[in-house]
Structure formats: C-alpha cells, structure tokens
Chains A and B, each alone.
Chain A
C-alpha cells in the first residue's frame, strides 16, 4: 500500500474481515437531475442574498449619513448596471425563499418522496421566475416613474 488514501479506505466487515471500503462516486459520475441544481442553487442564492443585504445596509447607512452619501447610493441604484445587480438580489431572495419554504415543508415530513420532489422542482423554478419578473418589473417601473416625477418637480420649482 503506497498511498495513504488507500489506507484510509480500509474497513472491517461485520464478521471482522478487513475489506476495501466503497468509495462514493464523484459529481460528474452522477446523471444530471434538476433536484441537484436546485439544491446547490439554494446555497448560492443564500450567499448572493447576503451580498445583497450588505448592499441594502450600505444604502441605509448612506441615507443615515446625509444627502451627499445618499446621492452616491442613488448613482448605483439609478444606473442600469446597478439595477441589474438589484434584480439579481431580488431573484436570489425569491429563489432562496421558495427553496426555504420547500425545506420547511420537508422538515415537517411532507412532499419528501422521490416523485413529489421531482414534481415540485419545476414548480419552484416557475414560481421563482414568475414572482421575480413581476416584482422586478413593478419595482423598477415604480422607481423610474417616481424619479421622473421628482426630477420634473425639481426643475419646475
């Protein structure tokens, strides 16, 4: 035995005989399933949502600091790249919420069979896409409308 990793894979069978323990296959061995993408996505969107929450706190701190800092924050929230970031945050929060609700349902022991899991997966994707699109369009629309009205009022006065 030359490799230490091989030594770590030696186990004993219930009758006491030494055997080579089975190795679990690695990621690329498994057949693609939607559930595995949804599972890792819940983690990724959780991290993304945390990043977005950090931005949200910076926005709040800018408002607390004063008009000048808030104007800088508005430069971020007002331009297309910043808004793309905000939409990304929103979509992450929506998916993480959908995924989180599914986890709470599973924790209560429901919808946890293979058939139910595979049936609910596409529904989760659809709900996320729908809710995210509606909220993003609504929020961006309301914000743009209000900003335009404010700019007009500012010019008039």
Chain B
C-alpha cells in the first residue's frame, strides 16, 4: 500500500453504520411513527367530526348513551390514543428543536408525562361511559 491510498478516518464503527440506527439509537422509528399515526388520524378524526354533528348541543344523557356504545367507545379510544401519541411525537420534535442545554431533558419528560396523562384520562373516561351504559341496560 502506498501513502497516497485514499483513507478516511471515521470514528463510527462499520457495524454501527450497517445497523443504520444513527446517534440517537432509534433510526427512523420516530419519523415512521409520526407518519403512521398521522395517516391513522385521518379517518379517526373524520369520524369524530361526523359524531359531533350528531351530538352538538345534546344533553348529558345522550352523550353518555353515545359513549357507551361499543363501536363508539372503540373509535373514541383509538382516536384518543393515536392523537396523544402523535402529539407526543410532534411536541418532542419541537422541544428538540427549540429547547437547549439543561432544560432539554426535563422539558422532554414533561411533554411525555402530560400527553400520556391526558390520553389516560380520555381512555378512563370512555371506560366509565361504557360501564355506565352496561349498568343501565
């Protein structure tokens, strides 16, 4: 081998390059999850808007009856989980872009906590509506 042979110094190992998981260790998982949840939200949010046309202005009894139906409860739970998962993914990117230094990690954890808790609140509200529905019938 001569001294003029091309030679590039790369600190990353060949294995790391082959795995393609990058510095974050998760590869394109976050990006894909964002797209898949976005596509799933198209039919789910359309369904929700249609339901709001049926429910707008109604009283409490009607809403409870509506939320207790199995299909509505399923769609609602899917909508809530997908919405807050998507929100978590999106807000995380915003935090990564604009929050630097020591504040970064706490802000990221806060985003995860708040979006998770809101999603759980929605899921348990649906469970309660279903329970109320089965008690009545």
Residues of A within 8 A of B (CB): 43, 46-47, 49-50, 53-54, 56-58, 60-61, 63-67, 70-71, 93, 97, 100-101, 103-104, 107, 135, 138-140, 142-148, 150
Minimum-distance CB pairs A-B, first 4: A143-B56, A146-B57, A143-B57, A147-B57
8 sampled A-B residue pairs with Cβ under 8 A:
A43-B94, A53-B84, A63-B125, A70-B60, A97-B42, A104-B39, A138-B53, A145-B57
Q: What separation, in Å, do the CA atoms of A139 and B55 have in the docked complex?
A: 9
Q: What separation, in Å, do the CA atoms of A104 and B37 have in the docked complex?
A: 12
Interface of B is mostly: helix
Of all chain A residues, the one with the shortest Cβ separation from B58 is A146
Of all chain B residues, the one with the shortest Cβ separation from A68 is B60
Q: What separation, in Å, do the CA atoms of A139 and B56 have in the docked complex?
A: 7
Residue B78 at the chain A interface, CB threshold 8 Å? no
Q: Are A46 and B63 in contact (CB under 8 A)?
A: no
Q: Are B57 and A60 in contact (CB under 8 A)?
A: no
- With A64-B125, A150-B58 known to touch, is A97 a contact of B118 (CB < 8 Å)? no
What is the 8 Å Cβ interface bit string for chain B, positions 93-113, against chain A (1 contact, 0 not)? 010000000000000000000
- With A100-B38, A150-B59 known to touch, is A60 a contact of B91 (CB < 8 Å)? no
B residues 83-136 near A (Cβ < 8 Å) are: 83-84, 87, 90-91, 94, 115, 118-119, 121-122, 124-126, 128-129, 132
Q: What separation, in Å, do the CA atoms of A53 and B82 have in the docked complex?
A: 11
Known: A58-B121, A139-B52. 12 other contacts (CB 8 A): A50-B91, A57-B121, A60-B67, A63-B67, A64-B124, A64-B129, A67-B60, A97-B42, A100-B38, A104-B35, A104-B38, A148-B57
User: Chain B residues with Cβ under 8 A from A49's Cβ?
Assistant: 87
**Nearest Cβ on chain A to B104's Cβ, whole angstroms:** 18
Q: Are B45 and A144 in contact (CB under 8 A)?
A: no
Q: What separation, in Å, do the CA atoms of A144 and B53 have in the docked complex?
A: 11
User: Chain A residues with Cβ under 8 A from B122's Cβ?
Assistant: 56-57, 60-61
Q: Are B60 and A53 in contact (CB under 8 A)?
A: no
**Nearest Cβ on chain A to B48's Cβ, whole angstroms:** 8
Q: Are B53 and A142 in contact (CB under 8 A)?
A: yes
Q: What separation, in Å, do the CA atoms of A93 and B91 have in the docked complex?
A: 15
Residue B64 at the chain A interface, CB threshold 8 Å? yes
Residue B18 at the chain A interface, CB threshold 8 Å? no
Q: Are A93 and B45 in contact (CB under 8 A)?
A: yes
**Nearest Cβ on chain A to B35's Cβ, whole angstroms:** 7
Partner of A71, one of B60, B67, B119: B60
